[in-house]
Every structure is written in structure tokens, then in C-alpha cells.
Amino acid sequence: MIVDTLKNCGTYYGSNERFEAAFDFIKKAVKENLPVGTYEIDGRNLFAFIQEYETKLPEESAFEGHRNYIDIQYIVSGTEVMMVADISNMKESCEYKEDIVFFDDYEKASICVIEAGEYGIFFPWDAHKPGLCFGEKPEKARKIVVKVRI
């Protein structure tokens, strides 16, 4: 997992040939305040979701993982806790389907607090549990999730 801000996004362009286009979309979406919805950037190679929701308590969510996509999760507004753990330490709680698998909880997961203007990048080896509230009180959040095919 990587946590950073947009001013440093160019640092990661070499990680995947689609990262530059992914970050260009995030910048555009923020600047133009694009509405909630799904956005095709490059077919199934690169697409995005803009979401608004209330953050959840950890017990209301599950760890997830992907094999074919990297997630870039950019927080537009609000504060969100994201948990992450190496999938080799995790036990699958369901069958892998449509590029998602869920995992049982893992007590030794790392915890990151992501604020507006920051993002987390989750690779296929990162089981992640995003969308969690900071503290005990859920709050409204707006997020851009860009799915980057490997």
C-alpha cells in the first residue's frame, strides 16, 4: 500500500503504464466536481467510480482483495480509515469472483488515516478494508476509486 497526496503522484507513474491517466482523471474529477457515478477512461483497462457514503465501523465491513486490478482510492472530502494486510496472512471467506475476494478479519492489519486530498494505492497483494470511520462516529465522505488493470 502507498499513501500520498496528488503533488507526488508522478513518483508512481513508473509503477504501471496506466497510472498517469488514472491520476489525470482524479485531477479532472476534483477540478470539475464530477457527479457520483461510473466513468470509463480506457475501457476495462482503466475506469473509475465516484462515491458518496457514510464511513462505517470496522465490524460493519470486510477485507477485500483483487487479482487483476490495482485500486487508487482518493478521498475528496471527509476522513477515512483504511486497513491493509498482506493477503498471504489472510484467510478467504468466500470464493474469488469478478475480481474480488473477501477475507476474514486480521488483528495485525496496519491502519492508515486518509484525509481529503490523500489517496491509498492497493496492489493485488494488499488485502484492504477501506471506508472506515475515524473514531466511533461515522461521517460523510466522497471518494474516487480508480481501477487500474495490471
Average pLDDT over residues 48-77: 97
pLDDT of residue 95: 93
CA angle 106/112/114 to nearest 5° reads 140
pLDDT band at residue 7 under the 50/70/90 scheme: very high
Residue recorded with cell 476534483: 30
- Residues 70-128 have pLDDT tens digits of 999 999 999 999 999 999 999 999 999 999 999 999 989 999 999 999 999 999 999 99
pTM above 0.85, yes or no: yes
Complete domains list, the chain, with CATH: 2-149 (2.60.120.370)
Adjacent-strand bridge partners of 133: none
pLDDT for the residue numbered 20:
98
Residue-wise pLDDT tens digits, 12-40 = 999 999 999 999 999 999 999 999 999 99
pLDDT at 46: 98
> Which pLDDT does position 15 carry in this prediction?
93
Output the pLDDT for position 26. Answer: 98
Express the helix, strand and coil content of the chain in percent, nearest 5 each. 20, 50, 30
